[in-house]
Structure 1
Amino acid sequence: MTAPTRPLRRVRRRRRFDLRTTALFFLLLALLLTLAGLVARTAAAAAERRPAWAVTLLVVGFALTVACCRGRRRWSARRLVRCATEALEEAAETAVDALGETPVDVVPAAVVDPARTPVADSVEETLVVETAAVTDVTDYESLGPDEFEQAIAGLCARDGCTDVEVVGGAGDLGADVTAVAPDGRRLVLQCKRYGDGHKVGSQDLQRFGGTCFTVHEADVAVVVTTGDFTAPATEYATQCGILCVDAEGLRAWDSGTGLRPWELPGEG
């Protein structure tokens, strides 16, 4: 007589703990719970709007559930949860494997020049800023006569002059801009916007010299031009104490790299 043998119980192999797989598992579980919450919320909102339809769908769903459960030996909530858990674990492992096979682009490290130091970078930035300041100069030759006078008045105001006025026009007697310099002296400026090849002559200086000191009571008389001055005009200006600012001097004044007219030597 043989002794009855007990059926061997299937032993489940314990899986090795994997942090990435576990994290992804809980992420998928959270997404499923969120989706279930959204479905439940939508169903509740639909039930409020159409209660009759909601009751009908509930009855039909319950009947289908009962019919499905009759064909099975036993309906177990534990079994359902276990199957769902295994499915989530497999999905998590599959996703982790797929991520592990994805090639990762390697970003090359920044190449450091040993010759460059913070001090050198600071000096270079300063040079760049100064170069930008020098090159960012207004194109005065493209301005009209009135615009040029307004621009010169703007330079005076920018550099600390007060009581700046544009007085050019008919009957100005040679004065286009008047102002008070930071040191308190009265400035009288005549603006000559000339194109290339056109120079301010001695006659222009003589007309301005006859009124700038006696009529306008200038302490500092200045002629500013986008061109240049003839030799006789420069000689007359030196004799009368009139300051001449040519195109190069105007660019230096505008960029802040040169002297302002009231700082030039030879003022009267």
Structure 2
Amino acid sequence: MAARKKRRSASRKRREARLKVGVWSGVAALALLLAFWSTIWPYVVGVLIFGAVGGGGWWLWKTDRLVRGNDRRWRHAEAVKAGHRTLAEVDAMDGTQFEAFVADLCQRDGCTDVRRVGGTGDNGADVRARLPDGRTMVIQCKRYNPKRKISNGEVRNLLGSQMHFKAEVAVFVTTAYFSGPAESCALQNDVVAVHRDHLGLWNNGAALLSLQAVNGAGQGDRRHRALRRATYE
């Protein structure tokens, strides 16, 4: 017990001695600074200015790195969320995930008021939004096996949904292809028919509105359809 008290006392004395040395060193440095202030003040001011400039530059550099890093992470997250996915990844989604994926692509293209409304009692609409030019839009989403065909009746259901919501634009998005009658129905009624190949274009960065220029194209003739069926067998 006595030995412990001695060690504590010796430690306290060493701390007090170091404190005294520090105080007297500071006093001595201050005295020298005051004594030679007229000579050294330009150097002191120069050091302070240099330190301020260097500190400001370091802060700007760190801030720039932080902002750039956050921007890269945001862009990466957006790329994963909407677009830059393979169609094989899209095929692995369930219906709800596919609807959310389509809604994300709409947001990427600058659409506003984007809402996923698919589900029971959806009146034939899975996504509703407003295009960048202000027109209202209703979207039907069908994540089907590529071998399956979108029927004429499914396109007509979308037309009924368009009338119900009084939407100006109707879009049918699918991971499959349209039957001949379904494609004809879509073209006759100005429905944007986004089949699997056009979905790939949209997913890879093409704007939704740009797909209107190729509406009704890309499914190929009978020979191409036969090759496609063989591919997905």
Q: TM-score range by the shorter chain?
A: 0.5 to 0.7
What is the rounded CA distance, in whole Å, between the counterparts of 1:262 and 1:185 in structure 2? 15
* Equivalent position SS for 2:161: coil
* Equivalent position SS for 1:151: helix
Check the 8 A contact 1:199/1:230 in 2, yes or no.
Answer: yes
One-letter amino acid of the structure 2 residue matched with residue 210 of structure 1 = G
Q: What does residue range 103-252 of structure 1 map to in structure 2 within 5 Å?
A: 136-137=85-86, 139-212=89-162, 214-252=163-201
CA gap of 1:136–1:148, structure 2 versus 1, over 3 A, is closer
Runs of 4+ in 1 over 4 A off after TM superposition: none
Question: Which runs of 5 or more residues in structure 1 are unaligned?
Answer: 1-47, 50-133
Per the TM alignment, residue 263 of structure 1 is displaced from its structure 2 partner at its CA by: 5.3
What is the rounded CA distance, in whole Å, between the counterparts of 1:209 and 1:145 in structure 2? 20
Per the TM alignment, residue 264 of structure 1 is displaced from its structure 2 partner at its CA by: 1.2
One-letter amino acid of the structure 1 residue matched with residue 92 of structure 2 = S
Cα deviation 1:29-77 (Å, max 9, x = unaligned): xxxxxxxxxxxxxxxxxxx99xxxxxxxxxxxxxxxxxxxxxxxxxxxx
One-letter amino acid of the structure 1 residue matched with residue 212 of structure 2 = L
Rg larger for:
1
Check the 8 A contact 2:84/2:203 in 1, yes or no.
Answer: no
- 1:255 corresponds to 2:204: yes
CA gap of 1:180–1:262, structure 2 versus 1, over 3 A, is farther
What is the rounded CA distance, in whole Å, between the counterparts of 1:225 and 1:169 in structure 2? 17
Aligned pair count reads 138
Check the 8 A contact 2:91/2:143 in 1, yes or no.
Answer: yes
Aligned-residue Cα RMSD (Å) equals: 2.7
Check the 8 A contact 2:149/2:178 in 1, yes or no.
Answer: yes
Per the TM alignment, residue 186 of structure 1 is displaced from its structure 2 partner at its CA by: 0.7
Q: What does residue range 93-104 of structure 1 map to in structure 2 within 5 Å?
A: none
What is the rounded CA distance, in whole Å, between the counterparts of 1:136 and 1:170 in structure 2? 28
Q: Percent of aligned positions with the same letter in both sequences?
A: 37
* Equivalent position SS for 2:96: helix
* Equivalent position SS for 1:173: coil
Cα deviation 1:124-175 (Å, max 9, x = unaligned): xxxxxxxxxx975352111000000000001111111111000111111111
Question: Which runs of 5 or more residues in structure 2 are unaligned?
Answer: 1-9, 12-82, 216-233
What is the rounded CA distance, in whole Å, between the counterparts of 1:227 and 1:167 in structure 2? 21
What is the rounded CA distance, in whole Å, between the counterparts of 1:255 and 1:249 in structure 2? 10
Cα deviation 1:187-228 (Å, max 9, x = unaligned): 11000100131110101111111221x211111100000010
What is the rounded CA distance, in whole Å, between the counterparts of 1:189 and 1:135 in structure 2? 21
* Equivalent position SS for 1:172: coil
CA gap of 1:172–1:200, structure 2 versus 1, over 3 A, is same
- 1:264 corresponds to 2:212: yes
